[in-house]
Amino acid sequence: MAWLLVIVAGILETGFAVCLKLSHGFTRLWPTVAFASFALGSFGLLTLALKRLDVGPAYAVWTGIGAAGTAIYGMIFLGDLVSTLKIVSISFVIIGVVGLQLSGSAH
């Protein structure tokens, strides 16, 4: 259950990163409200998960989902540059996160 919280928190991290961009420096109301909601939810769920998980692997999974998710979202929906190097790099982030997870959390 704790890992599910981390995964959802990572997805919410993607949401707050995208909304941060869409807020244009907190000058647009609804993207700013969405940013705050996603951020609060993301940090809240991560905090709950860390009661049962080791911080290193949990944080890596959270940030990995957020980083990869944000990059993928940007390429698909925001017109960010798509390149082979970017896709390979996102793959390395995901591989690294999976490797940390598999390296062993006894909880």
Q: What is the pTM of this model?
A: 0.90
CB 6 within 8 A of CB 61: yes
Return per-residue pLDDT of the chain as tens, 107 residues.
999 999 999 999 999 999 999 999 999 999 999 999 999 999 999 999 999 999 988 999 999 999 999 999 999 999 999 999 999 999 999 998 888 878 765 54
The 3-class SS string of 74-90 reads HHHHCCCCCCHHHHHHH
